[in-house]
Chain A
Amino acid sequence: NAGVTQTPKFQVLKTGQSMTLQCAQDMNHNSMYWYRQDPGMGLRLIYYSASEGTTDKGEVPNGYNVSRLNKREFSLRLESAAPSQTSVYFCASREWGYSNQPQHFGDGTRLSIL
């Protein structure tokens, strides 16, 4: 049981390059999330998908796009990377709809933009 799987684990980009971070969960959860965590900081929500077919902006959506490809997969795209987007990106999933279920996190993608 893999839980939440993120790829890649590490990536270095040049300013202006684009890339997509991949996330897949095998727990049949309906909600998925993308966070960024800057050094010594908490988690800030970028985008989330309450259920397949829906996406919503979080606290810091500028410069990012997302796609909920199916129930399992939720990708995050940086169209034109900027140094300010250097961060650790976490994907999470949870069952949502009744009671407050905890979020399950992936191992993160460490992204550096030069």
Chain B
Amino acid sequence: GQQVMQIPQYQHVQEGEDFTTYCNSSTTLSNIQWYKQRPGGHPVFLIQLVKSGEVKKQKRLTFQFGEAKKNSSLHITATQTTDVGTYFCSNNAGNMLTFGGGTRLMVKP
């Protein structure tokens, strides 16, 4: 399936700082889904992007899909301790989802 690579693997931020994770592919993606996994929990769906250049917001979270549909980003403004967890991007290929390796966010209060 189409592989998606995420960077960075880890990010430590001070509470109140911004955070961004990037998802990249060498091929054009049909769509991108983002999931969040809290420590010890299971992945939970956040959002899906389908259109070239699409931007969606959920409160302090901003999701973007690149114009060429080969990359995506998740930006969190003014992180809070509740944002701690691992953020995964995934690509839909037929009936399969291929997940990136995830970015683990740690927030220092």
What is A's interface to B at a CB cutoff of 8 Å?
31, 33, 40-45, 48, 50, 58-59, 90, 96, 100, 102-108
- Which residue of B has the minimal Cβ distance to A102? B45
Contact B102 A48 (CB under 8 A): no
Which among A31, A42, A48, A104 has the highest number of chain B CB atoms within 10 Å? A42
Contact A100 B99 (CB under 8 A): no
Residues of B within 8 A of A42 (CB): 6, 88, 99-102
Residues of B within 8 A of A45 (CB): 96-98
Which among A58, A59, A90, A102 has the highest number of chain B CB atoms within 10 Å? A102
The count of chain B contact residues (Cβ–Cβ below 8 Å) is 23
- Our pick among A58, A59, A100 for the contact of B33 (Cβ within 8 Å) is A100
Known: A90-B43, A105-B44. A40 touches B104 (CB 8 A): yes
- Closest Cβ of chain A to B46, distance in Å, is 9
- Our pick among A59, A100, A107, A108 for the contact of B48 (Cβ within 8 Å) is A100
Residues of B within 8 A of A96 (CB): 95
B25 within 8 A of A: no
- Our pick among A31, A40, A107 for the contact of B95 (Cβ within 8 Å) is A31
Bound: A59/B30 CA distance, A: 20
- Closest Cβ of chain A to B98, distance in Å, is 8
- Our pick among A50, A59, A107 for the contact of B42 (Cβ within 8 Å) is A107
Residues of B within 8 A of A43 (CB): 43, 88, 99
Residues of B within 8 A of A100 (CB): 30-31, 33, 48, 50, 92
A42-B102, A44-B99, A105-B44 provided; 12 other pairs, C-beta below 8 A?
A31-B95, A33-B97, A42-B6, A42-B100, A43-B99, A45-B98, A50-B95, A100-B30, A100-B48, A102-B48, A103-B45, A105-B42
Bound: A43/B88 CA distance, A: 9
- Which residue of A has the minimal Cβ distance to B30? A100
Residues of A within 8 A of B48 (CB): 100, 102
